[in-house]
A and B are shown apart, each in its own frame.
Chain A
Amino acid sequence: MSAASQRVCLFTGASGRLGTMFCRLYGHRYRLAAVHHTRRTVQSSQMCWSVDPLDPAMRKPIDVPGFAAFEADLSDARQVPRVVEFALDTFGRVYVLVNAAAMAHCAPLFGPDAMPDVARLFGVNVLAPLQLTVDLVNRCWGARPQDNAAMNRNVINVSSTSGAYVFAGQGGYSASKAALNMLTCHMADELGALGIRVNAVAPDSFPQSVSTESVCDAIVRVDQGSLSGKLLLLEPEGETVV
């Protein structure tokens, strides 16, 4: 697959468990604008080699040129525009935005630091995905709506089953993911007029309940498919599209 034919993916949370796995598994299929916070991203490992069947000891990694990392704190709304700017400056375009950055802090709602915690949770888990999407539409995707459907441009919000079910002690986190789920539906509704799809992938805890690989695979399937306004629940029993 040539670099020119690879889709450009703006992926937030790229240094987390999911992001690291995504870079490892799919770094060769996408040109990745990998956004991370304090932890460094892993350079997408070389997944393909050229090998001569008549001299198999000589293997050369096939260059994966499309990887660029960018540090940003998505709880700071002022940094969000820089993220979109970085992706567009680096690759010239974005086909899919994967909002995988998340705060997963779970604490009692009535503890001493509860309110600031909940505010930060909503900032990273809800407002940042919204702001990134709006920024991307304003800077790029809104200019030529006819291109959006043709290029299958879409947004994938990484949510959680905590946004669909009540788990004790996860009030703030759960509420933020529930808000993200509803936001996904409204974004799909409004951006559908521009030919932009928006969906959420909502896994159970990974890797404990579902494999991290399966979450990555689901993200890629949603990107390649035609769903919009849907929530893809990933649970040990299987997948459910809601």
Chain B
Amino acid sequence: MRVDMAQLLDERPWTLCNDPFPHVRARNVFVPELYVELAAAFEAILRGQVLPDWPAASFTRGMPNYDASGIAFDTHVGWPFNVFVSRAWHDMLARLFAVDANGCIHGGLHHHAVGSSNGWIHNDLNPVWFADIDGSDEIVIARQALCSYCEGHGPPAVRRREAVRAVAVIYYLNNPQWQPGDGGETGLYRTVRDAIEHPVAVVPPLNNSLVAFECTPGSYHTFRSNVRHPRNSVVIWLHVEKSAAIARWGESALVRFS
């Protein structure tokens, strides 16, 4: 699918903040027509309906130590969510953060029911795995049945490639109107030892807004408990080759999934 981001993006420019680590915030990210489609599709899946363009999509609780249900993007993801796995989206974000992204994308839909627990403070600088069966110039979406994203497990016959998360994006959609005190924000922190209740900055889950950042040793963030409303989002990660991440951050900085 060819995507023209200039046609799909609404409010520009976005805002790059340095506090407590470099991150980009944007509101009214997509044009209203697209946002309405995204929110409606999200809600339909949440209600158990079958999306014609992504029939297998169904929320499950499978994320260890993370109080949310989710759906991972796969190679069958269709309109409108395939915008997030498009070459144009990938390249725009890679240029925005000046990372040499390798075309590998992982992401999906997250749903936090009301009262979900706080997450844990982490930086997303994780080594991960992709099945190496797509064309080298194409976007590679994680195929978990062939190669598990976090551990690299899968049939021996499948070639695997290791990559490292390089850019993280959280796009908020299909949420009730947010007010201070509702929770459900993404908290940003200066160190892994910070108290979750004392973020340096928070990003509220405003519909059609996003926060994006380069995954670095200092990009500490987490989900903050949503006390009043569910929180819905799309998460996306771009990746770099592992050698590039090691050259930049050192192997000891990479955080393996345990």
Which residues of A pack against B, CB within 8 Å?
25-26, 28, 47-54, 56, 59-60, 62, 213-214, 217, 221, 239
- Give 20 pairs: A residue, B residue, CB < 8 Å, sorted on A: A28-B19, A47-B17, A47-B19, A48-B15, A48-B16, A50-B14, A51-B14, A52-B13, A53-B5, A53-B9, A53-B26, A54-B5, A54-B6, A54-B9, A54-B12, A56-B98, A59-B16, A62-B15, A213-B190, A214-B190
A51-B15 in contact (CB<8A): yes
Say yes or no for B92: interface residue by CB 8 A criterion: yes
Q: Quick check: is B95 within 8 A (CB to CB) of the other chain? A: yes
B253 in the interface, Cβ–Cβ < 8 Å? no
Interface residues of B in 135-184 (CB under 8 A from A): none
Cβ-defined partner of B24 (8 Å) among A28, A51, A214:
A51
| B83-97 interface bits toward A, Cβ cutoff 8 Å, 1 = contact, 0 = none | 000000000110110
Q: Which residues of B contact A239 (CB under 8 A)?
A: 195
The 10 A-B pairs at the shortest CB distance, nearest first, are namely A50-B13, A52-B13, A49-B16, A56-B96, A51-B16, A47-B18, A48-B17, A53-B96, A52-B12, A47-B19
Q: Which residue of chain A is the closest to B6 with respect to CB atoms?
A: A54
Say yes or no for B198: interface residue by CB 8 A criterion: yes
Say yes or no: A53-B14 contact (C-beta < 8 A), given A25-B19, A28-B19, A47-B19. Answer: yes
- Interface residues contributed by chain B, number (CB under 8 Å): 23
With A25-B19, A50-B15, A52-B13 known, 7 other A-B pairs at CB within 8 A are A47-B19, A48-B15, A50-B13, A51-B15, A52-B12, A54-B5, A217-B200
- Please indicate the chain B residues that have their CB under 8 angstroms from the CB of A53 in the complex: 5, 9, 12-14, 24, 26, 92-93, 96
User: How far, in angstroms, from A221 to B200 measured CA to CA in the complex?
Assistant: 9
A44 to chain B, nearest CB (A): 11
Which chain A residues lie closer than 8 Å to B14 at the CB level? Answer: 50-53
Chain A residues with CB below 8 A from B93, complex form: 53
Determine which residue in A49, A53, A54, A239 has the highest number of CB atoms from chain B within 10 A of its CB, and name it: A53
B198–A217 contact, CB under 8 A? yes
CA distance A184 to B8 in the complex (A): 55
What distance in Å separates the Cβ of A15 from its nearest Cβ neighbour in chain B? 21
Within 8 A of A (CB), among B9-39: 9, 12-20, 24, 26
B17 partner residues in chain A, CB cutoff 8 A: 28, 47-48
Collect the chain A residues with CB atoms within 8 Å of residue B24's CB: 51, 53
| Residue of A with least CB distance to B5 | A54
Nearest B residue to A29 via CB reads: B19
A54 and B92 form a contact (CB under 8 A): yes
Asked whether, in the complex, the Cβ of B18 is within 8 Å of the Cβ of A48, the reply is yes
How far does the alpha carbon of A25 sit from the alpha carbon of B12 in the complex, in Å? 25
Residues of A within 8 A of B9 (CB): 53-54
